[in-house]
Chains A and B, each alone.
Chain A
């Protein structure tokens, strides 16, 4: 599958739900697919240390879907974890869960927008799952992106979006164009590495 098709398929599912061939309805399915994805990266000669860090970031993003949405799904439980490896490595994670704003609103009642919620999620150590001591997963993703070159994350939830890492990524632009301002309260993210 091409990156364009990958994006189109994931956007469609994020907006409307229904079936998706890469849906991981349970955490164990996601974990198994992640193990396989690592093997695929190494087979395609992606440098080992980069592959390990890349998989760790995806692990955090995918596990967040389950950690923050159990019992809170809009309709379809689980997350879509799809990828394609061409000249670049593109990974999509999407869920139809409660989203970042709704999750953080429990601990930050004065929160007013999706955009504000995303900034807090990525830059502050705070989690919607209070009183548990959590909230370092997305900071880890942010730090890891800073340490990598040619790597970009486009992260959307509700009306908010953040682009982290290398800017002006063509695929991220394509995804935003594809969505054309449409959104869902859940999470959609594209992680892209230009090999």
Chain B
């Protein structure tokens, strides 16, 4: 299952927004089974902070036991955010 973060905005900054996005995924986008990896796609995201990403990933990992895979990105704010998590 691929989650395209651009659907939640191009500028992803606050913890509150990250938590809200995770809740939406939990409600409307569920993996087919417990094995299918969950791919996080950063394409189209312009600004990312570790606060948003941390809150989002905590929300996803708290709901699904599937492996979470962060797809590669060339965006510096995404790269630096992943580094500090």
Contact = CB atoms under 8 A, between A and B. Distances in A.
A and B held together in a complex = yes
B13 A56 contact: yes
Interface residues of B, number: 22
Nearest to A53: B76
Q: Which of the listed residues B13, B16, B46, B75 has the most CB atoms from chain A within 10 Å of its own CB?
A: B13
A35 interface: yes
A119 B60 CA distance: 32
Given A52-B75, A56-B49, A140 B15 contact: no
A140 B84 contact: yes
Contact residue range for chain A? 20 to 34
Contact of A52 (B14, B46, B84): B46
B80 A59 contact: no
Interface of A: 27, 31, 34-35, 38, 48-50, 52-53, 55-56, 59-60, 63, 67, 125, 133-134, 136-137, 139-140, 143-144, 147
11 contacts: A49-B76, A53-B77, A55-B77, A60-B49, A63-B13, A63-B14, A134-B54, A136-B51, A143-B83, A144-B80, A147-B80
